[in-house]
Amino acid sequence: MIKYSIRGENLEVTEAIHDYVVSKLEKIEKYFQADQELDARVNLKVYREKTAKVEVTIPLGSITLRAEDVSQDMYGSIDLVVDKIERQIRKNKTKIEKKNRSKSATSKIFTDAFVEESVALDKVVRTKTIDIEPMELDEAILQMDLLGHDFFIYKDVEDNTTNVIYRREDGDVGLLEVKEK
């Protein structure tokens, strides 16, 4: 069962838009057990130049699914975002199941861990606070890929150090290990 949180920025979320989002996101329910509760956060934005941005975030315990799309058509963006989420699920279903099975019910790992900071001309224009909790390197790579980010900050479960992984230009993954002085 999916619980929806649909929010509009510069846009009134009409019943038609709400129903359209719900009907599209319901198609991913088939990938989850019937008794599993999902919390889908949908953010719909409209900019002055009449472009629409749709963001969907679905925390799944130890990982978070996230997709976004920007276009001239709100309904088209909704379709594309749901397709991206569905592709992420299909592509990583085995890894997601393995990670969720290996965690105990009381273990809490990054449920909403995307970090977005925009820097323009040495001016900080957005600040986010994140919770860094221990995880293995392969879990951090999976989380980075599912979020669609170029980097990810995590605490290594083995040595409890804070590390950063990042996607290199050649497509490989780089690891920055923090050395404390």
- Comparing 115-124, 135-144, 157-166, the range with the smallest average pLDDT is 115-124
CB < 8 Å & 24+ apart, contacts of 81-88: 81/54, 81/55, 81/56, 82/24, 82/25, 82/27, 82/28, 82/56, 85/25, 85/28, 85/56, 85/58, 86/27, 86/28, 86/31, 88/146
The mean per-residue pLDDT over the stretch 164-171 comes to 88
Predicted confidence band of residue 57 (pLDDT cuts 50, 70, 90): very high
For 2-94, CATH number? 3.30.160.100
- Comparing 45-49, 115-119, 160-164, the range with the smallest average pLDDT is 115-119
Q: Which runs of consecutive H residues, i.e. helices, occur in 15-155?
A: 15-25, 74-102, 137-147
Please check whether the two domains, 2-94 and 119-177, share a CATH topology: no
The one-letter amino acid at 144: M
Q: Where are the domains positioned within the chain? A: 2-94, 119-177
Whether pLDDT at 32 is above 60: yes
Q: What is the mean pLDDT of the chain?
A: 80
The mean per-residue pLDDT over the stretch 128-140 comes to 87
CATH topology for 119-177? SHC Adaptor Protein (3.30.505)
Whether pLDDT at 139 is above 70: yes
The mean per-residue pLDDT over the stretch 131-140 comes to 88
Predicted confidence band of residue 97 (pLDDT cuts 50, 70, 90): low
* 33 or 114, higher pLDDT: 33
Residues counted in the chain: 181
Q: From residue 148, how far is each of 8, 71, 88 by CA, in Å?
A: 22, 18, 10
